[in-house]
Every structure is written in C-alpha cells, then in structure tokens.
Amino acid sequence: MEDVARYLLAAIFAVAGIAKLALRREQLVGQMSWVAHTSDAQVKGIGALEVAAAAGLVLPEALDIAEPLTGAAAIGVMALMVGAAVTHVRIGEAERLPINVVLFALAAYVAAGSL
C-alpha cells in the first residue's frame, strides 16, 4: 500500500511541477489562482521542488541507492503542503485545504514507512 501512495504522490507532484516549470503564468492562473499572488520565481521554485520531490519519492528505490532519501522526499512534500495550506488560507481559499490535508497525510504515511 505504501508503494501505491508513493507512486501516486510522485505522479501528482511530477505533473504539477512540470506544469509550473513549462507553462506561462497566464496559463497557470486559470487553474491555480494562487499564482496571481506570487512572483514568477516563486512559481518556478515551487515547480522545481515538486519535481525534485517526485524524483526523490521513486528514484532511491528504483536505483537501489540511499533509500532513506524517500522518507526525506516525503517530508519535503509535507512541508510543501503546509506552505500550500498557509497560502490558501492567506488568500481566502480555505475551501482548497482538503487536498492539501490529503496529500500531507499520504506523504506522512510514506515517510513513516520509509524512515
């Protein structure tokens, strides 16, 4: 079950991160209204962190190296979700918190099984 959660998180964060890195701001604002409240550098930085987290969730096991990095990547996802939740509350989008809570919980599950 942990593998399912890990691969699901990796897929979600790989897609989200690549979108933030590849798409223009105007293209992102329609789907992610918080983008309007941040700089381009912040959006690209978050995208890079998401891609790194996705890689960290799958590559250590796939390459059979430094498997504790999987737990560290999951903790990084938890930190990203705390930041996302704070941002959503700050800009008046508390209705978006459930997705942050679910992703945080999945990441906590993966971290607990990896450390």
Model pLDDT, residue 2: 87
Looking at residue 66, its pLDDT comes to 86
Distance separating alpha carbons of residues 50 and 13, to the nearest angstrom: 5
Is this prediction's pTM over 0.85?
Answer: yes
With contact defined as beta carbons under 8 Å apart, do 78 and 108 qualify? yes
pLDDT of residue 104: 99
What pLDDT, on the 0 to 100 scale, is given for residue 114?
87
> What's the pLDDT at 42?
97
Domain spans, the chain:
2-114
Note the pLDDT tens digit of each residue in 57-85: 999 999 999 889 999 999 999 999 999 99
pLDDT at 56: 97
Task: Please tell me the predicted confidence (pLDDT) of residue 115.
Answer: 75
Residues in the chain with pLDDT < 70? none
Residues 6+ apart with CB under 8 A from 17: 46, 47, 48, 49, 50, 51, 52, 53, 54
